[in-house]
């Protein structure tokens, strides 16, 4: 953590929780927010079918509404897809782009991610751009090269970083495995990412942009991870499905 950047904890529910289950979670989670540390931002990114209901329940709660993805085009013949203007209409306040599960399942690459961030920008929605290496890439010593390649998505923004952009370092081997990166491993990768931001946009932007860690964050390891100087919060999968666990992670971000 660094006092200059507001900590952020995002629940990425992935393909979990129907609208009804999401409402039951919020029933339990929202009353706890009076105890949240001041200055910590909290967001929940449900699956698309639950967005509207979650959005309604989060109204005036101070908890932000997030989406897990967005299409590269603003509208048109793309059956089953969801556009940035639609998310805007639902008052979505941030959206994930480039999650490793989409890179894996949908073969999403950097230029597609750049387009998605552009569509979000047009709709006034900040993106949370996810990067991270696979186990094979780490073992081959390619982590820095992979992060450098993934950061070329910002070639689409030569004049400055997209307003409100957040990065999320999510090593693929740590996601859903119970095997989080050590705080030092995560800090090293975050430092590399901040260095790449600095090279591209200068020190002031690099120091202002938040970089979250994701990959098996739990109530037990969150505090130590978040105490690293370049880790500004968490992007949380499994542990964010349980109200008291996500609450504990929010508290650890304070």
* Cβ at position 102, least distance to ligand 13P in Å: 10
Q: Are 230 and 2 in contact (CB under 8 A)?
A: yes
Q: Is 176 in the site for ligand 13P (CB under 6 A)?
A: yes
Please, is 105 exposed, middle or buried when counting C-beta atoms within 10 Å of its C-beta (0-12, 13-18, 19+)? exposed
Site stretch for ligand 13P (CB under 6 A), options 85-93, 153-161, 208-216, 244-252: 208-216
Q: No. of H helices and E strands in the chain?
A: 11, 8
Q: Is 98 in the site for ligand 13P (CB under 6 A)?
A: no
Determine which residue in the list 66, 126, 237, 243 makes contact with ligand 13P, applying CB under 6 A: 237
Extract the runs of DSSP E, i.e. beta strands, from 50-92: 64-67
Q: How many CB atoms lie within 10 A of CB 59?
A: 10
Contacts with ligand 13P, 102-131, as mask; x by CB under 6 A: ------------------------------
91 is catalytic: no
Q: Per the residue annotation, which of 108, 112, 137, 170 is the catalytic one?
A: 170
Tell whether residue 221 is a contact of ligand 13P (CB under 6 A).
Answer: no
* Rounded-to-10 torsion of CA 175, 161, 11, 36: 130
Return the structure tokens found at 4: 């200059």
Stretch that binds ligand 13P, among 56-64, 112-120, 148-156, 210-218 (CB under 6 A): 210-218
Instruction: Report how far residue 230's alpha carbon sits from residue 121's, in angstroms, rounded to the nearest whole number.
Output: 25
Query: Using CB under 6 A, which of the segments 54-62, 113-121, 202-210, 215-223 binds ligand 13P?
Result: 215-223
Closer CB to ligand 13P, 57 or 128, in the complex: 128
β-bridge partners, 9: 42, 234
Establish whether 73 is a catalytic residue: no
Q: Does 245 bind ligand 13P (CB under 6 A)?
A: no
Q: Which residue is nearest to ligand 13P (CB)?
A: 237
Measured in degrees and rounded to the nearest 5, phi and psi for residue 230 equal -105, 10
Q: Is 132 in the site for ligand 13P (CB under 6 A)?
A: no
Dig out the tokens for 198 from the structure.
Answer: 């600095």
72 scored as a contact of ligand 13P (CB under 6 A):
no
CA distances from 242 to 45, 188, 247 (A): 14, 29, 9
Q: Which of 215, 221, 245, 253 binds ligand 13P (CB under 6 A)?
A: 215
11: β partners = 44, 236
175 binds ligand 13P (CB under 6 A): yes
Q: Which is nearer to ligand 13P, 97 or 125 (CB)?
A: 97
């Amino acid at each position: 953590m660094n006092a200059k950047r507001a900590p952020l904890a995002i629940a990425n529910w992935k393909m979990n929780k129907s609208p009804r289950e999401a409402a039951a979670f919020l029933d339990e989670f929202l009353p706890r927010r009076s105890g949240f540390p001041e200055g910590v931002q909290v967001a929940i990114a449900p699956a698309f079918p639950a967005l509207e209901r979650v959005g309604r329940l989060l109204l005036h709660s101070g908890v932000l509404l997030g989406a897990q993805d967005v299409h590269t085009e603003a509208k048109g013949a793309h059956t089953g897809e969801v556009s940035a203007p639609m998310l805007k209409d639902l008052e979505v306040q941030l959206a994930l782009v480039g999650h490793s599960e989409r890179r894996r399942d949908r073969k999403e690459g950097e230029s597609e991610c750049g387009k998605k961030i552009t569509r979000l920008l047009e709709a006034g929605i900040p993106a949370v751009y996810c990067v991270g290496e696979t186990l094979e890439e780490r073992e081959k010593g390619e982590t820095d090269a992979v992060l450098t390649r993934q950061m070329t998505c910002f070639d689409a923004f030569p004049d400055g970083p997209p307003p409100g952009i957040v990065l999320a370092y999510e090593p693929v081997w740590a996601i859903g495995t119970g095997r989080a990166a050590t705080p030092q491993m995560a800090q090293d990768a975050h430092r590399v990412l901040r260095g790449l931001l600095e090279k591209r946009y200068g020190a002031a932007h690099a120091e202002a942009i938040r970089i979250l860690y994701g990959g098996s964050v739990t109530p037990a390891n969150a505090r130590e991870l978040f105490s690293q100087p370049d880790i500004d919060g968490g992007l949380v999968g499994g542990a964010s499905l349980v109200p008291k666990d996500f609450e504990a992670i929010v508290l650890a971000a304070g």
